[in-house]
Chain A
Amino acid sequence: MRLTCPLCGDRDRREFYYYGAEDYLHRPVEGAPVADWDNYLHLRDNPAGVTKDLWYHEAGCSQWLLVTRNTVTHEISAVELVAERKA
């Protein structure tokens, strides 16, 4: 598997650390209801198809990446920097 880091370019999967779903980016505000935190920390979809998840370019630029990929075809349709993500 290969990922194209927006900064470093096309790289082998071994350079990256996988974290989990993009949900981790949507941190509830302080004092949010417990259900929001439960959802944030523990509830995940497991789609057969397009999914977004977080990868860390540990052996490269140390950037966290938001990867859009298809769990069925393995196609990777987008990789963006978490630090510069839109929305």
Chain B
Amino acid sequence: MPELIAKSALEGRSSTSGTVTLAEVAVGPITSIAVFPGGAKAVAKGLKTLGLAMPEPNSFAEKKGARIVWTGRDQAFLIGVAPPVLEGAAVTDQSDGWAVLSVSGAGVADVLARWVPIDLRLAAFPVGRAVRTQLNHMNVVILRVGDHAFEVMVFRSMARTAWHEVETAMHMVAARLGTKI
């Protein structure tokens, strides 16, 4: 019998530059829930067992280690727990498809602003907001998990590039510190 050893995309790497820390984090199972036309009620019933509901666009919610993230029209990712029995939706395992990067620390929004073409100011992007957007050339899901903390979900095969981009920006932002007029 073969012995299959599991490996994450970046093997849990972490790096700090200036005030910002970048790390690959393990988030547990990721399940796509895509609601069929007319399936909303059944899905709501299934999610209720976890104390969750389908999130509003551009948001995520958490309950007891389970997180539900809006990812598209009538679509969400359930993260951190095995999915409950769900009628009314296409349920697809996405656990292995993504690498999740945590980027945190004072000035973290300045780092991401090097690559992400959306408004990251706290007022426009408060804690609890989740968006689909870009990180340089890569499509990502970005969650604000704290005033100075984001999580970036990127396709697993591109994890090394995403890491490189964020780390480069961290270095540049750190090098600027103290360069104010």
Contacts and interface: CB of A to CB of B under 8 A. Distances in A.
A67 B139 CA distance: 22
A59 B133 contact: yes
A1 B118 CA distance: 13
B131 interface: yes
Contact of A61 (B118, B132, B134): B132
Contact of A7 (B57, B117, B133, B134): B57
B73 A81 contact: yes
B95 interface: no
A38 interface: no
Interface string B114-152: 000110000000000001111000010000000000000
A15 B72 contact: no
B131 A15 contact: no
A12 B6 CA distance: 38
A8 B73 contact: no
Interface in A67-87: 81, 83
B73 A63 contact: yes
Contact of A83 (B73, B134, B139): B73
A7 B72 CA distance: 8
Q: Is the interface of B mostly helix, strand, loop or mixed?
A: strand
A46 interface: no
B153 to A, nearest CB: 13
Nearest to A57: B132
B57 A8 contact: yes
Contact of B132 (A8, A12, A81, A83): A8
20 contacts: A7-B58, A7-B72, A8-B131, A8-B132, A8-B133, A14-B117, A14-B134, A59-B132, A59-B133, A59-B134, A59-B139, A60-B131, A60-B132, A60-B133, A61-B57, A61-B71, A61-B73, A62-B72, A63-B72, A81-B73
Interface of A: 7-9, 11-12, 14-15, 58-63, 81, 83
Interface of B: 57-58, 71-73, 117-118, 131-134, 139
